Amino acid sequence: MPSEKQKIKPFDSIIGIVIYSVILMIPVFSKEYFGVWLFDEDKFVGIVPFLTGNMDQLTYVLLLFILGLWILKDGIKLFYERMTNFLASSITVMNSFSLVIILYLFLKGKIWNENLMKDAVNSGTVTIGSDAYTVLQKAWEQSTFWFPILLVIGLVAEILWSFLKANKTEE
């Protein structure tokens, strides 16, 4: 009989599904609003998107596939209600597919807007060499470096957590 410590809270899975849906739907439906909002003298002048404007069909399909995997993963958690080794193994398989796809998308440059800094300068609100340019460039470099790393860490941590939880017993 599984222990109480192996129980999965339904709320966590439902919140996971909502968060995954919102986060992964940004590149599909509203990527033009997800970026650096530009203002000139307190007047909104435009947005330079973080995400590439010319995502190919394969990128969209892979992003939707990841979304489907993550929703399926939380749906299975809702169904099982308790973490088991089988469920932990299923999470491992789904997260492994996600890791491969994420690494492919980020390493091939299929996600980020490679022209962000140039677009910001072309907008006329940021000048090369200015403090604003330096801050934006540093933030952009750090974001594009750490975001995929944090995604990978999160997916690996979920795999480890699921096996730890599956093997917990009442003490």
Tally of helices (H runs) and strands (E runs) in the chain: 5, 2
Residue 37: helix, strand or coil by DSSP? strand
DSSP annotation of 115: T
C-alpha span between 44 and 50 (Å, rounded)? 17
The range of the structural domain enclosing residue 52 comes to: 4-166
CA nearest 106: which of 48, 152, 158? 152
Is residue 171 one of the residues assigned to a domain? no
What ranges make up the beta strands (E) of the chain?
35-40, 43-49
The total domain count for the chain is 1
pLDDT tens for each residue of 109-144: 788 888 888 988 888 878 898 998 899 899 999 998
Residue 71 lies in a domain: yes
What pLDDT shows up at residue 98? Answer: 93
Q: What is the DSSP letter of 42?
A: T
Q: Which residues of the chain have pLDDT under 70?
A: 1-3, 27-28, 169-171
Q: What are phi and psi of 111, to 5 degrees?
A: -110, -55
Q: Tell whether 42 is covered by a domain.
A: yes
pLDDT at 13: 86
Name the pTM for this structure. 0.79
pLDDT at residue 91, as a whole number: 94
79 assigned to some structural domain:
yes
